[in-house]
Structure 1
Amino acid sequence: MMTVRATAQDARDPLSGVTVADVADPGPPEAGWVPVDVRAAALNHHDLWSLRGVGLPADRLPMVLGTDAAGTDPDGRAVLVHAVLSTPGWEGDETLDPARTLLSERYPGTLAERVWVPARNLVPKHPDLTWAEAACLPTAYLTAYRLLFTAAALRPGRTVLVQGAGGGVATAAIVLGRAAGLRVWVTSRDEAKRARALEIGAHAAFATGERLPEQVDAVVETVGEATWGHSLRALRPGGTVAVAGATSGAMPPADLNRIFFRSLRVVGATMGTRDELVAVQEMLVATGARPVVDDVLPLSAAPQALARLAGGDVVGKLVLTVGAPARREP
């Protein structure tokens, strides 16, 4: 089967370690796992971090990349793959399991013609969503849902600032926030990305670090060092910065005086639960909102797609298809 694997790691040149190759189906790694024939898989920054050597030990190479997929189970049913793997017998929030892992960290990931997952990690795919749209949900849209509605506990009418418009989680937060009745503000260094954010639902767009008209209830933070100070200054007293990434660096000044003096909350999230994946799909179906897909390419074009992701030349999600011709989403 065709796979996209990390065969080497280089912090400065992560793309040098990407290999597209046909390999034998490894079969189930553990009892109770089932195969999913992948129809579409979305790319994430997690794939680039793995190629840089972050979160994926070198002794596990080669490793099939990918945490997002939609496909068919052994009975031919259309499914989404929930990529957060808790230990057998774990009860409750899978992301809180100290021994949990993600697909492509300990077990082969989703950038392949077939992926094996625990049967409990499958979610029925709603027919209203295309394969490409469904493949966007398990990482970016699940993470955005958790940041907005679990970590920040936002409700209709509240204001959220989304840092770094254009990224997968940031774009998902715009789409979901607007659909939920939030007032959504965004930032970006790029004027074209600010304009695109307004097109997909943001109420206002600002240059990175720009002073806002008023303080906000919550900030969705996936950029890290470059925007952290602005995120804290943007919050009203008692507000929440919900963190799910640090693409510009993970060691900004903490500014603890501001955090405790203004009673700010800093809440982290790694993806979300299976129940939240069910909920975000139901939300999209009920509201008519849809994931923003930048482009759809064949699985064999993964190196080029990863290069675009690394270069920041993306608004929304890049999706790879298996067994179907590539096409650009309208």
Structure 2
Amino acid sequence: MRAAFASRIDDADPLSALTVGERPEPEPAGDDWVTVEVRASSLNHHDLWSLRGVGLTEKQLPMILGCDAAGVAPDGREVVVYPVVPTPSDPRGVTILSEHHQGTLAERVAVPAANLIAKPAALSFADVACLPTAWLTAYRMLTSRGRVAETDAVLVQGAGGGVATAAVVLAVAMGKRVYATSRDPGKRERIAALGATALEPGARLPERVGVVIETVGAATFDHSLKCAGFGARIVVSGATAGHLPQVNLRRVFAMSLEILGTSMGTPDELSALLEFLASTGVRPVVDSVFGFSEVDAAFAKLASGTVFGKIILDHTR
């Protein structure tokens, strides 16, 4: 079957480590595993990190990339693939597809049957292929971790990337006042069109917020602390601009702040996210759609840093 996979590790030039070609059919890892015919998938920065060797070693190669997918189960059901797989050999007890088990950027992928979640009829394969990593992370950041129901105002740092853009859309749909920062004037315009107040990084907000969505790291963390109201939650799921910020601990204890880490979400949270989109009419922000035959161009776009929203691969093309 055709697949996009890491054939080697190259930290300096990750795109050169990407190979598109034939791979063996997926092998179920247990009796409770099934094989899904993939109709659509989406790219994540995790795929680029894998090509750089983060979370992936030479002995694991070749590894089919991709965490997100939607397709058709053996019984004909249209499904979304939940990408977190129990992995006893990993210290975390779990891994996501493309770390220990082959990923989703292929014609077919093998996963535990329990990882299949029904696709709502109102959502397309392309819509739901955006959700299992970035959108699920954003949903969990706002709901279970951020307890967004307890506040009226949210700050999203570094909007434009997959998680941050998803957080903007979801928080607006939840009826919150949303402030979002970006260094890029063009992205600020697009953020404003999504219903948020778009600001330059470090700008003064008209109010303190109850939840901060933090995926940037050191470059924005002090601003996140200053914008957080009493008892606010700063929810962290990334550190694209530095993972060792200076933290003013006096502000943390004086303002009773919570700094919470998170990644991905649970199957129940993915089901709730699907229900939320189906009932509200909210749809993922899509930067571009590529046919599977254009996977090299899709990865180049992801690596360019110009992406706003998700990059989708249509496996039927």
- TM-score where L is the length of structure 1: 0.92
- Aligned-residue offset at 1:156: 7.2
1:111 counterpart (78, 82, 105): 105
CA distance in 2, matches of 1:109, 1:201: 34
Work out whether 1:178 is the aligned partner of 2:172.
Answer: yes
Which stretches of structure 1, 4 residues or more, deviate above 2 A after TM superposition? 254-258
Tell me which of 302, 317, 321 is aligned to 2:314. 321
Distance 1:54 1:255 in 2: 30
Tell me whether 305-314 or 69-78 shows the greater mean CA deviation: 305-314
1:296 matched to 2:289? The reply is: yes
- Distance, in Å, in 2 between the alignment partners of 1:288 and 1:160 is 21
Measure how far apart 1:323 and its partner are: 1.6
Where 1:141 maps in the other structure, the secondary structure is: helix
- CA separation of 1:137 and 1:305: change in aligned 2, threshold 3 A: same
Pair 1:7–1:257, CA change in 2 (3 A): farther
CA shift, 1:159, in A, is 0.6
Determine if the alignment matches structure 1 residue 23 to structure 2 residue 23.
yes
2:156 to 156, 159, 162: 162
Instruction: Select between 177-186 and 6-15 the one with higher mean Cα deviation.
Output: 6-15
* 1:8 maps onto 2:2 in alignment: no
Which residue of 1 is the match for residue 262 of structure 2? Answer: 269
| CA displacement at 1:87 relative to structure 2 | 5.1
Q: How far did 1:300 drift? A: 2.5
SS in 1 for 2:190: helix
Q: Which runs of 5+ in 1 are unaligned?
A: 89-96, 325-330
Contact 1:165/1:186, CA 8 A, preserved across alignment: yes
The residue aligned with 1:305 is 298
* Partner of residue 132, structure 2: 138
The residue that corresponds to 1:241 in the other structure is: 234
**Cα shift readout 1:143-175 (whole Å, capped 9, x = no counterpart):** 111000111101176111111111111111111
SS in 1 for 2:287: strand
Structure 2 residue aligned with 1:129, among 123, 136, 151?
123
* SS of structure 2 residue aligned to 1:155: helix
| CA–CA distance in structure 1, aligned partners of residues 241 and 309 of structure 2 | 18
Shift of 1:231: 1.1
Instruction: Please state how far the C-alpha of 1:125 moved relative to its aligned partner.
Output: 0.3
Contact 1:157–1:181, Cα closer than 8 Å, also in 2: no
Which of 190, 195, 203 aligns to 2:184? It is 190
CA RMSD of aligned residues (A): 1.5
Is residue 2:61 matched to residue 1:61? yes
Residue 62 of structure 2 aligns with an amino acid whose one-letter code is P
State the secondary structure of the residue aligned to 2:149: coil
- The residue identity in structure 2 corresponding to 1:199 is A
Residue 279 of structure 1, CA deviation:
0.1
Q: Percent identity, aligned pairs only?
A: 53
Amino acid at match of 1:221: E
Q: Is the 8 A contact 1:39 1:321 kept in 2?
A: yes
- Where does structure 2 lack aligned partners over 5 or more consecutive residues? none
What is the aligned residue count? 315
Within 5 Å, give how 1:248-287 maps onto structure 2: 248-287=241-280
Q: Is the 8 A contact 2:151 2:210 kept in 1?
A: no
In the alignment, is the contact (CA less than 8 A) between 1:43 and 1:66 conserved in 2?
Answer: yes
Output the CA distance in 2 between the equivalents of 1:42 and 1:158. 31
Matched position secondary structure for 2:232:
strand
Aligned equivalents of 1:147 and 1:302: distance in 2? 30
TM-score norm. by structure 2 comes to 0.96
